[in-house]
Amino acid sequence: MKRYILTILGLLLITIAQVSFIQKKSTSKEELGKLLFFDPILSKDYTISCASCHKPGYAFADTTTVSRGVARKKGLRNTPSAMNVSLLSSFFWDGRAADLEEQALAPIKNVSEMNLPLQEALGRLKNNKRYYRLFDEVFNSEPTAKHLAMAIAAFERTLETSDSPFDNWKFSDDSNAVSDDVKRGFALFSGKGKCTSCHFGSNFTNNEFRNIGLFNAKNLKDSGRSLISGKKEDAGKFKTPGLRNVAITAPYMHNGMFKTLQQVIDFYNDPNKVVPNAINRDSLLAKPLGLTVREKNDIEAFLRSLTDKRFHKVSTRK
Amino acid sequence: MAKVLLYSALAILSVFIEKNKLIGRWESKPSEKGNVTGVVFKDSTFEGYVNKKPFVSGIYKLENEVFSFVDNGCEGKKGVYKIVFFSDWDSLRFEPITDSCNDRRNGMSRLILGKKK
């Protein structure tokens, strides 16, 4: 009997050991990426993480015109949402990164953001017992730049949203999911407003670079895409951002110059009225749209319907 | 008179049968990156989506497996495609007849959809 009990206990111990071993091994690339995304270990003075500027409660965007990095240094452009990025074909307002992995490392090195040379960042991760173990578990290697980028990018690819009232209307065929204002707004967005010429696709961007007229080389000096491509004709072009959750990612545009969606819609309705001396504004915006007050409100209602349900509290607060 | 009625009924029936083949939800298999494209066809409208995210709405006509449509992309340009059903009407692909919207033509030519039960 004693031998029988001992055998059972032995088997039980082996099972527990195996289970705990399996559990330890189960850390995923995405989970590691999430830890890194929220950890200020990747900034010079240990004060800034990716999430400091990509705030989860605001669809992983920031609420300020431009974000502040280490030592409160001001960034140059508005922080875009880090959600719904898995289908994008370029990253940053000027498209200087071709994939999420390339994008993921840039803010760490950027002197205005986290200001930490990559070798120093990797040194910190190697000296950190937890990260050393996690990189070994996930990638079977010590922390490297490639694996750091892969982990953060993998986490960012999990940040997809597809449960907004608009999705419920169009994907789930629930015509009561949105109001008539939203339906009219969507028709205007696709028609008179000409918005789908650039904001077309499952995330409402066709991934192109456009000059909407926020560059005049005077008080609006950021020439955007041309700084990367070196092409004169790209001056003033910026990547068309996606619009999912746009109601909670104010302020808007690459320079955060518009505080509300109404201001954005007013601008598109008559860009020349807001920025009269723009250089090479896209011909799509050559003539005023002539939207009525009600039409503008309908377009705004449609844009608000793109807010994922997880953010509805934030959306109502705004 | 009876003949006219019969022909009318047959014509209506044939349109109904043609459309019925398409009505419902159709989806692609996941791509290499795991993306799933789908379309929900109703009587005369459709909604396209990627990974459960709607991205295109349109109106269509289906006559003898010729699918003509306009959507909210491509600046209102009309697309005309032959729909080829296969696997016992369970799958379909699109063969372009005319479509001056290059991006759409490239996308649709590659698309193979299976009927969702």
Cβ atoms of B69 and B59 closer than 8 Å: yes
Q: Where are the domains of chain B?
A: 2-115
| C-alpha to C-alpha distance for A175 and B52, rounded to whole angstroms | 16
Domains A27-156 and A165-317 share a fold: yes
pLDDT tens by residue, A260-269: 999 999 999 9
Tell me the nearest-neighbour CA distance from A307 into chain B, angstroms: 13
pLDDT-based confidence at residue A192 (cuts at 50, 70, 90): very high
pLDDT on residue B97? 97
When pLDDT is averaged across residues A176-181 and rounded to a whole number, the result is: 98
Average the pLDDT over A276-297 and give the result.
Answer: 97
For chain A, percent of residues with pLDDT exceeding 90? 90
Q: What is the pLDDT of residue A194?
A: 95
CATH classification of B2-115 is 2.40.128.640, yes or no? Answer: yes
Q: In chain B, which residues have pLDDT < 70?
A: 1-19
CATH architecture assignment, domain A27-156: Orthogonal Bundle (1.10)
Chain-wide mean pLDDT for chain A? 93
Chain B touched by A207 (CB under 8 Å): no
Q: Which backbone phi and psi does A300 adopt, to 5 degrees?
A: -65, -40
> A202 vs B72: CB contact, 8 Å cut-off?
no
pLDDT 10s digits, B20-38: 789 999 999 999 889 999 9
Q: Which residues in chain B have their CB less than 8 angstroms from residue A190's CB?
A: 57, 72
Q: Are B77 and B86 in contact (CB under 8 A)?
A: no
Indicate whether A2 pLDDT > 70.
no
* Domain residue extents for chain A: 27-156, 165-317
A80, burial (CB in 10 Å: exposed 0-12, middle 13-18, buried 19+) = buried
pLDDT band at A29 (very low <50, low <70, confident <90, very high): very high
Mean pLDDT of A294-318: 88
pLDDT at A232 over 90: yes
DSSP class of residue B48? Answer: E
Q: A158 and chain B: CB distance < 8 Å anywhere?
A: no
DSSP state, A201? S
Report CA-CA distances (Å) from A30 to A138, B31, B99.
10, 20, 41
ipTM: 0.83
Classify domain A165-317 by CATH number.
1.10.760.10
Kindly tell me the sign of the dihedral angle through the C-alpha atoms of B27, A177, B53, B100. Answer: positive
Which has the closest alpha carbon to B24: B55, B46, B56? B46
Least CB–CB distance from B53: residue in A190, A200, A202: A202
CB atoms within 10 A of CB A235: 18
* pLDDT (tens digit per residue) in A69-95: 999 999 999 999 999 999 999 999 999
Rounded to an integer, what distance in angstroms lies between the CA atom of residue A249 and that of residue A259? Answer: 10
- The answer to whether the Cβ–Cβ distance between B47 and A171 falls below 8 Å is yes
Residue tagged 């880090």 (tokens) = A82
Q: What is the distance between the alpha carbons of residues A123 and B15, in angstroms, rounded to a whole number?
A: 69
Question: Are A167 and B75 a contacting pair at CB < 8 A?
Answer: no
In angstroms, the CA A306 to CA A161 distance is 9
Per-residue pLDDT of A33-73, as tens digits, reads: 999 999 999 999 999 999 999 999 999 999 999 999 999 99
CB contact under 8 A, B49 and A171: yes
Q: Which helix (H) or strand (E) holds B108?
A: helix B102-110
